[in-house]
Amino acid sequence: MNFDQMKAKMAQGDGFIAALDQSGGSTPKALAGYGVAEDEWSGDEEMFAKIHEMRCRIVESASFTGDKVVGAILFEKTMEGCNPEGIPIPQRLAGKGIVPFLKVDKGMHDTANGVQLMKEMPELDANCERAKELGVFGTKMRSVIHEADETGVADNVRQQMDFGLQILGNGLVPILEPEVSLKSESRPQAEAQLLAAMLDQLNRVPDGQQVMLKLTIPSEPDTYKALTEHPKVLRVVALSGGYSREEACTELAKNHGMIASFSRALLQELRAQMDDARFDEALSSAIDAIYTASKQPG
């Protein structure tokens, strides 16, 4: 797929985006959930090798195709890696009809004004250039809104758009992810503030260009309808945010125009100890459930 074909798939394709982008801080937890204990690896190199094995197993599964998975978000080391046959992962995904994205954020600052802003990304231009060389379509970056706070939420969304415009300038499509915590005691108010701030910030996107949004499934269905219909938004995707797969799929299906971009909810039943048949069966079941929840009219 070339860039225009990838853009068309992201705009119109049925399916969801698989989030395979656990980074250094979250990798041990992801491995533990997969059934790989910490005493089975030593140091970052072995840890990343273990998580790469898991991701390759997913990517190579017969059920992991562009028929139901329209995109996949990769950690930088995964983007730079290859499958067992030596094919670069972004190229392998594109060959299966799956649009590759790169996680570019470098973590977050401590909470202030109810939100966590992203740390600076001095190598963002270089990362974008490398991603383009490898055939990646877009990027993803995450910040968090813990409580409703007009100043904090506005700062959070503004920072997302600042980086998003830089990424657009590098010829990639950014996924902006200002996550509203499911644990927030002021979640509905925070979602309303996020909607208003995002609609304001979208005015900064140049005519003829689009960004993508990755948002927490809202407490009130179709809260983000104005974003799913916005001409400067290519697609709105939903994170699972700590929901189980069943809960996430149930809540997502109430929202028109949003598709899933799940991580834990996709991987929760996969185990390293499974033989290939059981692994493929478990992954296929997860893909079918998330695909069905994502296949909504509107």
Question: How long, in residues, is the chain?
Answer: 298
Let me know: does 122 contact 157? Beta carbons within 8 Å.
no
Residue 119: CB atoms within 10 Å: 12
Residue 170: CB atoms within 10 Å: 16
Q: How is residue 41 written in tokens?
A: 């690896």
* Whether residue 214 lies in the annotated active site: yes
| Cβ neighbours of residue 212 closer than 8 Å, sequence gap 6 or more | 10, 138, 173, 174, 175, 176, 233, 234, 235, 236, 237
User: Which candidate in 177, 179, 191, 251 is catalytic?
Assistant: 177
Do strands 99-103 and 69-74 pair parallel, antiparallel, or not at all (unpaired)? parallel
* Whether residue 179 lies in the annotated active site: no
66: nearest Cα among 120, 5, 112, 125: 5
User: Which candidate in 50, 147, 214, 251 is catalytic?
Assistant: 214
What is the rounded distance in angstroms from the CA atom of residue 2 to the CA atom of residue 11?
Answer: 14
Residue 281: CB atoms within 10 Å: 15
Q: Is the CA virtual torsion 105, 107, 109, 110 positive or negative?
A: positive
Catalytic positions are 177, 214
